[in-house]
Chain A
Amino acid sequence: MSSNKDFDNIFNECIEHLLAGEETVGQCLQRYPAYAKELEPLLRTVVLMHQVADVKPSEEFRARARYQMQLKMAQSATPPRITRRVPRWAIAACTAMLVFVLGGGAVLAAQNVMPGNILYAVKLSTETLQLKLAGSTESKTEQYIAMANERITEMAWMVNNNKTRNLQAAAYRLNNYYTSIGELAMTGTAKTTYSTAAIPAGPMTTPPAITIGITATPTVQALITEPVTTVVTNTSIVITSTPIILGTVNSNNITAAGSNGNVSNSNRTSQLLNTLNSNAAIQPSEIQQLLNSGKLPDSVKATLQQALIQSNIVYQSAINNANHQ
Chain B
Amino acid sequence: MQEELNLVQRARQGDQEAFAQLYETHFDKIFRYVVLKIRNQTEAEDMTQQVFVKAYESIGSYQPQGVPFTAWLFRIAHNQMVDYVRKESKKPTVPLDESLPIMDDSDLEHDVEIKIEMEKVVLATKQLTKAQREVISLRFAGGLSITEAARTMRKSEGAIKALQHSAILSLRKTLLAGENGVK
Contacts and interface: CB of A to CB of B under 8 A. Distances in A.
B140 A49 contact: yes
Interface string B130-148: 0000001101110101100
A68 interface: yes
Given A299-B16, A302-B20, A8 B168 contact: no
The size bracket of the interface on B is 35 or more
Interface stretch (A39-47, A107-115, A150-158, A225-233): A39-47
Interface in B1-60: 14, 16-17, 19-20, 23, 27-28, 31-32, 35-36, 45, 48-49, 52-53, 56
B49 A299 contact: no
B126 to A, nearest CB: 13
Contacts of B32: 53-56
Given A8-B162, A55-B32, A73-B16, A61 B45 contact: yes
A19 B103 CA distance: 19
Nearest to A53: B141
B165 A8 contact: yes
Given A8-B162, A69-B56, A49 B31 contact: no
A52 B117 contact: yes
Interface in B103-145: 103, 114, 117-118, 121-122, 136-137, 139-141, 143, 145
B121 A49 contact: yes
Interface in A225-245: none
Contacts of B71: none
A207 B165 CA distance: 68
Interface in A21-65: 41-42, 45-46, 48-58, 61-62, 65
B136 A8 contact: no
Contacts of B154: none
Given A52-B122, A55-B31, A45 B161 contact: no
Nearest to A72: B53
A9 B16 CA distance: 40
A19 B148 CA distance: 15
Contacts of B49: 65, 68-69
B54 to A, nearest CB: 11
A42 B172 contact: yes
B68 interface: no
Nearest to A46: B168
A100 interface: no
Nearest to A297: B17
B103 A69 contact: no
A170 interface: no
Nearest to A70: B20
Nearest to B45: A61
A46 B35 CA distance: 18
B164 interface: yes
The 5 closest A-B pairs by CB, nearest first: A53-B141, A53-B140, A45-B172, A52-B121, A57-B31
12 contacts: A12-B161, A15-B139, A42-B169, A48-B117, A49-B140, A52-B140, A53-B140, A54-B32, A56-B28, A57-B27, A57-B28, A69-B23
Given A8-B165, A51-B117, A77-B16, 15 more contacts: A8-B162, A12-B164, A15-B139, A42-B168, A42-B169, A45-B171, A49-B140, A52-B140, A56-B28, A56-B32, A57-B31, A65-B45, A68-B53, A70-B20, A72-B53
